[in-house]
Structure 1
Amino acid sequence: MSLSETTPRAQGDLEQRRARRSVGFGFFLSELGLLFRRRRTWAMLGALAAVPILIAVAIRLTDGGDGRGPAFLDRITQNGLFVAMTALVVSIPLFLPLTVGVVAGDSIAGEASASTLRYLLVAPVGRIRLLLVKFAAAAVFCLAATVTVSLAGILIGVALFPVGPVTLLSGDTVSVAESLGRSLLIAVYVTVGLLGLSAIGLFISTLTDAPVGAMAATVVLSIVAQVLGQLSQTEWLHPWLFSYHWLDFADLLRQPIEWSSFGENALLQLAYVAVFGALAYARFSTKDILS
């Protein structure tokens, strides 16, 4: 076979691959658009933004209170930038997992409940691409939710309290600009920590056509993991829980930055994503949808 005979075929294959990539990226953008056009999504982000606002207002009205409460609370009156960090400590155990559980649990089950799942699987979308796009959209929401808490905390902190150089947990002092950079890094850390829960929610969502059930199961699992993480009787299990490193972002507030927790958190979440992503595909690939 001559080169002139094979070239058109190769060009055709290349065009098909480009078309598939274009469809995949367009589908991802469409999924993001659908997610962030929902009133429910903005209601959840609004509720998350209210957490740092309530904390800041309460501290402002009580002049700092009695010093009891979550981490960083006693530093807010000296520097408003600590509002964001305190809000993350408050949001991580319940509020962030709750919103992530709603989005991840609804990913597949919501489409099945609305009878739109079969139309999404029309070629060239396919089941693997659908799962990848749904998980990627949930990951974007994790980032949006975490940044919402941090940004709202920074803004309300600047509005109600003095702002200046930040004294880190190691005793070193960094500029406002560097502290804002570390706040962004902490948001990324928390986002990575929520990816394992997103993968679990995606898997549960493939098991049922009832989105409420998938959402509830995902949220309950996040609570169970945190309860187990507090029991000394299950200490052997703690390093394997997806919530184990959720509150270890304090290591990013040291000079120099302690990166070990970030790496351990990322590896743990990657393991959860791999395992539950594979389970989701195994379940979804054999699920009767088109009949």
Structure 2
Amino acid sequence: MIWQLDRIRIVLVEPAGPLNVGAAARVMKNMGLRHLVLVNPQCDLQAEEAQRMAVHGDDVLAAAKVVANLPEALVGCERAIATTGRLHRQDQPLELPEVALPWLLPPAPETSFAAALIFGPEDRGLSNDELIYAQRWVRIPASDRYPSLNLAQAVAVCSYLLHRYALAEALEAAFPTVETAAVAGHSASLDQLEGFYRDLEIVLLKIGYLYPHTAASRMAKLRRLLHRSGPDSKELAMLRGILRQVSWAVGKATGQD
């Protein structure tokens, strides 16, 4: 097994078809991926159709983790990429899988690193509210006449690319041809970032920078800013310290606790 792939989760949000789930498990096994996470699945994972499509990937299917929501699926992850078949009017750019997916590979063989690749439901894809949990978005280029890929097909395309890039990195490590740079430090985990975003929204509402009716759109822009900067745990702790001090100062000035 290529060790880099063991740090990556394939996350399916509300999959409805047991055939798709089984086929996804099979192609994951083909490409050396084994961590399948299902968010509120709308089908029976033990259905005969899922088992039949999984074939020798039945161990991946059997070990699949079921969670209630997307933030729970991303606990412990430092990086997440969301897939989408739609063009969005938001500022977030849509990247090619070949450009973005290598970013999910861990920088060093450390057990603490985890990353996620997120796929949406078959009938609607990921919503805007779900997309904001990922730092980067990818869209698989396809014909304008029929650009929407089947869920299992999308998983297959991305799994193949992850396997290809992980294999290339493994060969480079075994037979280095260029001097490698020092490994960068770990980014803060996504669940740590979610805690910071909650605190940030509370403080910004308190000081009047945000208004309830526009908070969601403004917070989405702030999320993109933080995602691009990639703060580590110590930097995020510093930012949360600033928020606590601002909250204390506002409370003191207004006579509130």
TM-score by length of 2: 0.31
With normalisation by structure 1, the TM-score equals 0.28
User: Could you say which structure has the higher strand fraction?
Assistant: 2
Higher helix share: 1
